[in-house]
Amino acid sequence: MNILIATFGQETNTFSPDRITATQFLPNGWIKAETIVDGFRGTGRYLGGAIRAYTQEENIKVG
């Protein structure tokens, strides 16, 4: 069984006169597919919860 999990978050502030750059928006760079499971495992984020839940299922391989 293949399950795709994705997340996207954006906080918008239309009152700020400042412009944001990609460097400010992504201070740690893009998250690469190969690092998602290890990077989010054990966190309180949505992906961390999904990884924990799917890891508990015997018939689903995570990673």
pLDDT tens-digit series, residues 38-51: 888 999 988 899 88
Report if residue 17 sits inside a domain: no
CA angle 41, 47, 51 (to 5 degrees): 50
Compute the half-sphere exposure of residue 45: CA atoms within 13 Å on the CB side of its CA: 16
Q: What's the number of domains the chain is made of? A: 1
Higher-confidence position of 50 and 61? 50
40: containing domain: 30-63
3-state class (DSSP) for residue 26: coil
Report if residue 5 sits inside a domain: no
Question: Which H or E run includes 63?
Answer: none
pTM above 0.75, yes or no: no
